[in-house]
A = this chain, B = another copy of it.
Amino acid sequence: MHRTRVRIVEDALDANDTIARANRDDFDRAGVRVVNLMSAPGAGKTRLLERALVGLQELGVRAGVLEGDVQGSFDADRLSALHLPVAQLNTGNGFGGECHLDANMVRSALPALALDELDLLIVENVGNLVCPAEFRIGEDARIMVCSVTEGEDKPLKYPLMFRACELVIVNKIDLLTHLEFDVRRLLDNVAAVNPDARTMLVSAATGEGVDAVRDWLAAIAAREPAVA
């Protein structure tokens, strides 16, 4: 039974990769670069976007957001204040309430977005440190946000997520003075599981460090499509 289960999982991931490639072809044709934004619940992804997306337009980047949630549209409603194209994708509607986005779910949501009018699409994944890292959606780059309130051990406990990302954003640094939290130890743990990851220290609450995130997103938007 266990072998059957492994086979089913492998088949599902193969099928996902096929659809992810189709998504990627569509993104490349439309000239839009895609970022998969992941974190645990409550790490501050939406608040970070509220900060980082303001000013992208002045950098010549037309950005849009695909919001992934099990249910509800709380984050999409928040982001609609930015007057950017925002689409909502609920895993609770026809996708079994899944704990992550996969390539097929993202594909189903693409008609809601005018890809040709975007340079950058940010896909805010379901808050979860395990499964989102296993499912490619056709993205060009992956970001994970971890908060200093979550503890320094997270890279060691959820290494797949930290390994899957190019950029690790350490958020809520405004709270550091009120916590027993060793940033150096967290960064060492990130480096232990992913030595190539870029790291940024940020407070989405105060705005500290958000410029670097915005510049990084603009650089992704300016990238040539990677050869598949």
- Chain A residues at the B interface, C-beta cutoff of 8 Å: 2, 5-6, 8-9, 40-42, 69-72, 74, 94, 96-99, 126-131, 147, 149-151, 153-154, 156-160, 172, 174-175, 178-180, 205
Cβ of A6 to closest chain B Cβ, rounded Å: 7
Interface secondary structure of A, over-half rule: loop
Q: A154 and B41 in contact (CB under 8 A), knowing A71-B159, A130-B70, A178-B175?
A: yes
Contact partner of A70 among B69, B70, B153, B157, CB < 8 A? B157
Identical subunits present: 2
Q: Can you list 15 contacts pairing A with B, beta carbon distance less than 8 Å? A: A2-B94, A8-B8, A41-B150, A41-B154, A42-B147, A72-B157, A97-B130, A99-B99, A126-B130, A147-B149, A149-B149, A149-B175, A174-B178, A178-B178, A180-B205
